[in-house]
């Protein structure tokens, strides 16, 4: 069985049009999830919770891609499409 771990994290950005965090020590680690669907649900929950702060952004990091950099996966592959 292939395990595709995903990390959800976020924090306040210096500029909403870039991905530079204001303070790396304040990055919120939401968690590590066993598949894209549960990671996406966690990301969506945090993004909606912080929607009033334009500088807050949450991201999904595909940890499984870090383990096997030779395998190319598309965004739709994550959704099983």
The string of pLDDT tens digits covering residues 21-71 is: 999 999 999 999 999 999 999 999 999 999 999 999 999 999 877 766 566
Which band of pLDDT confidence, cut at 50, 70 and 90, is reported for residue 81?
very low
Confidence (pLDDT) at 46: 96
Architecture of the 1-35+49-71 domain: 2-Layer Sandwich (3.30)
Phi-psi label, residue 80: left if phi above 0, alpha if psi -120 to 50, beta otherwise? left
Is residue 8's pLDDT more than 80?
A: yes
Would you call 13 exposed, middle or buried from its count of C-beta atoms within 10 A (0-12, 13-18, 19+)? middle
The tokens describing 56, both together, are 């807050």
């Amino acid at each position: 069985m292939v395990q595709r771990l995903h990390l959800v994290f976020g924090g306040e950005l210096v500029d909403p049009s870039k991905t530079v965090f204001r303070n790396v020590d304040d990055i919120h680690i939401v968690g590590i999830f066993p598949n894209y669907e549960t990671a996406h649900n966690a990301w969506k929950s945090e993004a909606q919770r912080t929607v009033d702060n334009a500088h807050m952004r949450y991201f999904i990091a595909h940890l499984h891609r870090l383990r096997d950099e030779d395998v190319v996966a598309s965004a739709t592959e994550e959704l099983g499409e």
